[in-house]
């Protein structure tokens, strides 16, 4: 029984070493003092050059070892990994000004659906009287450029636009190869478990199986992530409202002769810079955002403020008997 247990343990160790070795680079002959590798045949000898990279087998196992044709077929199977020419993850972000943030957020959801995707997250909020929004969508990777163009069409102005691309083909191929090796290792461990004749040996093999299964699931998760993120593109869109709103305040409503009154404009939306035009109600005016005016007579005055933004949009605020 002890002999079988030792054999199984040794077999487990060999299986695990082979799994690690399959995902590493091939063994190379030692370097010379100059740092260069010698010719393989020169180093190993004419007959042993082809066998130098393969682990040796006892004579009694030679007949059961796979032949050259079997090893070649296995190598062909390992290299037959079904992957696209390239796997590229493309993402983008945009900051845009829109006429209506709520409507734009709904339109972005429709854009996502049109281009084979969905809305990841969406939020609309108010800040100091202005409306802002943030919408994150995913679209089919092949429609990435078309989706960006559709988003630009929603905007009154595109303030910022960034795109990025990351080629993950090499990582995907490496992960897939490692996964194949681990799945082969798992199959070999299952065969060893069937041959085990004691609970102790079964538990030892089971521990190794649990470890290998954990690595397999981790690789499978990463592979799925690469497949999904390269099949769809993430686009983050930040929304700003373009509606121009105007109001103002003053130090006093009733003024006395010679008393200075300070006016303060409150403007949001639209596109800066703004142009101001005040009418203080006594025939005087100003083009400053926060002017101070001195009235020559006591009384009540009606004040008007007109604001024009950089795109020509114009909005007024008027207060009677201010």
pLDDT tens for each residue of 139-165: 999 999 999 999 999 998 899 999 999
In a domain, 108, yes or no: yes
In a domain, 57, yes or no: no
CA separation for the pair 86, 80 (Å, rounded): 16
C-beta neighbour count of 151 within 10 angstroms: 23
Of 226, 241, 256, the domain-final residue: 241
Q: Given this model, what pLDDT does residue 150 score?
A: 96
Q: How many separate domains does the chain show? A: 2
In a domain, 81, yes or no: no
In a domain, 125, yes or no: yes
CA separation for the pair 102, 112 (Å, rounded): 16
In a domain, 230, yes or no: yes
- The reply to whether 139 and 270 lie within a common domain is no
Q: How are strands ordered across the β-sheet holding 245-250? A: 245-250, 260-268, 292-294
- The reply to whether 227 and 260 lie within a common domain is no
Q: Are the C-beta atoms of residues 169 and 87 closer than 8 Å to each other? A: yes
Q: 22-36: per-residue pLDDT in tens?
A: 444 333 334 443 333
CA separation for the pair 238, 269 (Å, rounded): 15
Q: Are the C-beta atoms of residues 287 and 309 closer than 8 Å to each other? A: no
Q: Are the C-beta atoms of residues 123 and 163 closer than 8 Å to each other? A: no
- The reply to whether 234 and 250 lie within a common domain is no
Which range (39-53, 232-246, 256-270) has the least confidence?
A: 39-53
Q: Given this model, what pLDDT does residue 218 score?
A: 95
């099949």: which residue's tokens?
231
Q: What domain range is 164 assigned to?
A: 1-29+87-241
- The reply to whether 151 and 297 lie within a common domain is no
CA separation for the pair 298, 111 (Å, rounded): 60
- The reply to whether 264 and 178 lie within a common domain is no
- The reply to whether 124 and 7 lie within a common domain is yes
Q: How confident is the model at residue 109 (pLDDT cuts 50, 70, 90)?
A: very high
- The SS3 assignment for 12 reads helix
Measured CA distances, 82 to 24, 77, 172, 173 (Å)? 21, 11, 11, 10
Of 184, 206, 241, the domain-final residue: 241
Beta bridge partners of 137: 119, 235
- The reply to whether 184 and 135 lie within a common domain is yes
Q: Region of 45 please: left (phi>0), alpha (psi -120 to 50) or beta.
A: left
- The reply to whether 99 and 232 lie within a common domain is yes
Backbone angles phi and psi of 293, in degrees to 5: -125, 140
Of 219, 241, 263, the domain-final residue: 241
Q: 284-299: per-residue pLDDT in tens?
A: 999 999 999 999 888 8
Q: Calculate ∠ Cα 136-141-146, nearest 5°.
A: 80
- The reply to whether 149 and 20 lie within a common domain is yes
Measured CA distances, 49 to 20, 149, 306 (Å)? 23, 59, 90
Q: 192-204: per-residue pLDDT in tens?
A: 888 888 888 889 8
In a domain, 46, yes or no: no
Number of residues that this document lists for the chain: 322
Measured CA distances, 164 to 68, 100, 108, 231 (Å)? 46, 28, 20, 15
């Amino acid at each position: 029984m002890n002999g079988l247990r030792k054999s199984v343990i040794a077999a487990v160790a060999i299986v695990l070493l082979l799994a690690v070795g399959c995902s590493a680079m091939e063994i190379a002959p030692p370097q010379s003092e100059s740092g260069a590798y010698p010719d393989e045949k020169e180093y190993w000898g004419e007959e042993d050059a082809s066998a130098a990279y393969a682990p040796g087998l006892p004579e009694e196992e030679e007949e059961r070892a796979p032949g050259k044709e079997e090893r070649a077929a296995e190598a062909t199977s390992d290299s037959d990994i079904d992957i696209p020419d390239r796997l590229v993850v493309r993402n983008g972000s945009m900051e845009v000004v829109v006429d209506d943030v709520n409507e734009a957020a709904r339109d972005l959801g429709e854009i996502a659906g049109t281009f084979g995707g969905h809305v990841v997250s969406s939020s609309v909020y108010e800040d100091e009287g202005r409306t802002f929004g943030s919408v994150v969508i995913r679209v089919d990777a092949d429609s990435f450029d078309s989706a960006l163009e559709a988003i630009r069409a929603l905007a009154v102005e595109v303030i910022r636009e960034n795109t990025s691309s990351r080629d993950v083909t090499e990582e995907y191929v490496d992960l897939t190869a490692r996964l194949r090796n681990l799945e082969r290792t798992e199959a070999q461990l299952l065969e060893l478990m069937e041959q085990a004749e004691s609970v102790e040996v079964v538990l030892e093999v089971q521990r190794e199986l649990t470890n290998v299964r954990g690595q397999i699931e981790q690789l499978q998760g990463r592979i799925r992530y690469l497949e999904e993120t390269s099949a769809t593109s993430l686009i983050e869109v930040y929304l700003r409202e373009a509606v121009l709103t105007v109001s103002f305040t003053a130090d006093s409503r009733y003024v006395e002769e010679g008393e200075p009154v300070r006016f303060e404009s409150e403007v949001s939306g639209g596109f800066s810079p703004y142009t101001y035009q005040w009418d203080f109600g006594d025939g005087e005016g100003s083009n400053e955002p926060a002017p101070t005016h001195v009235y020559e007579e006591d009384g009540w005055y009606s004040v008007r403020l007109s604001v024009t933004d950089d795109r020509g949009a114009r909005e007024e605020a008027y207060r009677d008997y201010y």
